[in-house]
Amino acid sequence: MPKQLFCVVCNDGGGPGIPGDGAYLVPYRDIALVVKESPSVDYASLSRDILVRQLASHQSLIEGLMDEHTVVPIKFGTSAADDGELLEILESGYPGFKKAVDTMAGKVEVDLIALWNDLDSMLKELGERDEIRRFREGIDPASPEKLREQAVELGKMVRTALEEENNRLRDEIVTSMSQFVLGQRVREHFDDRMLMNVAFLIRREEKIALDEWIEELDSKYEGTMNFRIIGPLPPHSFSTLEIRRVGAREMEDAMRMTGVKAGAGPDELRQSYRKLLRSYHPDKNPDDPGAQERFEKFNEAYRTLADCHLSASRKDAIMVRVLR
């Protein structure tokens, strides 16, 4: 039966059992995959509600491991066809798994969301800025058509001013947190009141200090904002692993583009990449409209081979790649 893959953890021989019905560890050297037998699923055909529930269950199982393990999530929906492919994934992907686990050791993600407590008041305040106020005072109400156009333009000006203010405050807040932060990812806003939505990578032991700092931020901005901190979480925004099989044709194309043969080692691949990099660069081909696209394909070919275990005996390979 297919095996659903959840995450990679350090395998120290201790720690509690795996939470979640049917999930278990598949150890390999000093790491292990957390897997669960599950029928093949066409996730594209699932309704949104079912997909959300399955994703929540997937994430909940991973979060349940965090107290005792360094956890690196695997992209939702990843599976192995059988035990043989699972072993191949472990053998081929071990260098990538090991590097990801070591990189994330002792680190967690926390998400910080800040919302305006009174967005209407903020919009009115922005509307009193000199440029916006002058534009508003110059609106001619005599022509309904022109009035509509000017009203739309006024709305755009206020919206732009709000985005600028949000970005200014976000940068100010993030800068003030630099003592805690190892990495950050700005995320999409999902509410008009939201002025920031940022994922931070921090050391696990800094979480309490960070909570205290958020309380200080709340006092500093005198309640104009509502801060919400979510976590600790697995480092989804910083280290989510993609695992997939790279077919023979894709491997052949990548090797041809980078000038290496099957069985080439990392050093040989890097040397060949550096040798060819300049000839592919668009700056060396200013009159060629296709130069940028070929340069991007060349870099993608290199990344594919760098993330694969090249074998002289196989035409395809397992690729392990950190998506973020």
In this predicted structure, the answer to whether residue 77 has a pLDDT above a threshold of 90 is no
Answer yes or no: are the C-beta atoms of 69 and 9 closer than 8 Å.
yes
Looking up tokens 């044709």 gives: 249
> What does the pLDDT read at residue 201?
94
> What does the pLDDT read at residue 197?
93
Confidence band of 72 (pLDDT split at 50, 70, 90): very high
Alpha-carbon span 249 to 301, nearest angstrom: 12
Q: Is 237 helix (H, G, I), strand (E, B) or coil?
A: coil
Range 249-274 average pLDDT: 83
Q: What is the pLDDT of residues 177-192, one digit of tens each?
A: 888 889 999 888 878 8
In this predicted structure, the answer to whether residue 292 has a pLDDT above a threshold of 80 is yes
Looking up tokens 């070591």 gives: 102
Alpha-carbon span 267 to 273, nearest angstrom: 10
Q: What is the DSSP string of 119-170?
A: HHHHHHHHHTSHHHHHHHHT--TT-HHHHHHHHHHHHHHHHHHHHHHHHHHH
Range 219-239 average pLDDT: 89
Q: What is the pLDDT of residues 199-228, one digit of tens each?
A: 999 999 988 888 888 888 888 888 788 899
* Interhelix angle 266-280/291-306, nearest 10 degrees: 170
Looking up tokens 């990548």 gives: 254
CA-to-CA separations, 90 to 35, 86, 251, in angstroms, rounded: 12, 6, 20
Q: What is the pLDDT of residues 262-289, one digit of tens each?
A: 777 788 888 888 888 888 888 878 877 8
**Structure-block tokens of residue 85:** 């492919």
Instruction: Tell me which H or E stretch contains 286.
Output: none
> What does the pLDDT read at residue 14?
53
In this predicted structure, the answer to whether residue 313 has a pLDDT above a threshold of 60 is no
- The β-bridge partners of 229 are 112
Q: Highest-confidence range of 130-134, 161-165, 219-223, by mean pLDDT?
A: 161-165
* Cα dihedral sign, 238-239-244-250: positive
Alpha-carbon span 96 to 201, nearest angstrom: 20
Alpha-carbon span 144 to 147, nearest angstrom: 5
Answer yes or no: are the C-beta atoms of 37 and 2 closer than 8 Å.
yes
Q: What domains can be seen in the chain, in order of their start residue?
A: 3-105 (no CATH), 108-233 (3.30.70), 247-319 (1.10.287.110)
Confidence band of 13 (pLDDT split at 50, 70, 90): low
Between these two residues, 137 and 324, which has the higher pLDDT value?
A: 137
Q: Percent of the chain, pLDDT > 70?
A: 93
